[in-house]
């Protein structure tokens, strides 16, 4: 596989199905942000964290490739008028969302209840989780904007929403595991 094709030299790129669009198209921005998120999750996985969390993160990275493929597919090429699919790609299932919810619940059961927002930080690994959470929220915002223009399977949006929740709780869990100080955000009253 040749890495450079020169087909994008004029500022366009191909979607799955072959349709060419500008590189600044919202569809490209959507799946590009999912790719960025996947890289940040790889950075978290490369930290000194427990094996179970690493295994969950590998599964999430796999699912993010599916999300990226769904966002990168030209809907006109993916489905014929008869409803018959032209391109076959995996999808995000309700079970994938339930897995995230199960992991969130499992981690939350071990953590003290939240009474305030927390300031991101406390340990580099925790900060990586918060950065990934913010990138996930941006990916979700872009995907919802794309969804308004060209709807796709809404489980993709549900997955991104739940993933940002998972990353927040993972940050809290890792704070706990690493004995990092979780600083509560308490708004200061004006004098």
Domains of the chain: 20-185 (1.20.1200.10)
Asked if 40 contacts 128 with a C-beta cutoff of 8 angstroms, the reply is yes
User: pLDDT for 91-139, tens place per residue?
Assistant: 899 999 999 999 999 999 999 888 888 889 999 999 999 999 999 999 9
Q: Which one has a higher pLDDT value, 148 or 24? A: 148
* Mean pLDDT, the chain, integer: 87
pLDDT at 158: 98
Does residue 81 surpass a pLDDT of 60? no
The model's pTM is 0.86
């Amino acid at each position: 596989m040749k890495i450079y094709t020169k087909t994008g030299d004029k500022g366009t790129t191909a979607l799955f199905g072959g349709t060419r669009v500008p590189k600044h198209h919202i569809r490209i921005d959507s799946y590009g942000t999912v790719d960025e998120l996947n890289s940040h999750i790889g950075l978290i996985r490369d930290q000194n964290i427990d094996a179970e969390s690493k295994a969950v993160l590998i599964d999430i990275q796999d699912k993010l490739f599916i999300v990226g493929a769904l966002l990168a597919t030209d809907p006109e090429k993916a489905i014929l008028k008869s409803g018959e699919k032209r391109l076959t790609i995996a999808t995000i299932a309700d079970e994938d969302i339930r897995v995230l919810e199960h992991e969130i619940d499992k981690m939350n059961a071990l953590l003290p209840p939240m009474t305030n927002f927390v300031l991101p930080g406390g340990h580099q690994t925790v900060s990586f989780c918060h950065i990934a959470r913010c990138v996930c929220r941006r990916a979700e915002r872009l995907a919802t904007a794309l969804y308004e223009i060209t709807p796709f399977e809404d489980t993709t949006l549900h997955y991104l929403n739940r993933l940002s929740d998972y990353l927040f709780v993972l940050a809290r869990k890792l704070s706990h595991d690493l004995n990092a100080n979780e600083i509560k955000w308490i708004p200061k009253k004006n004098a």
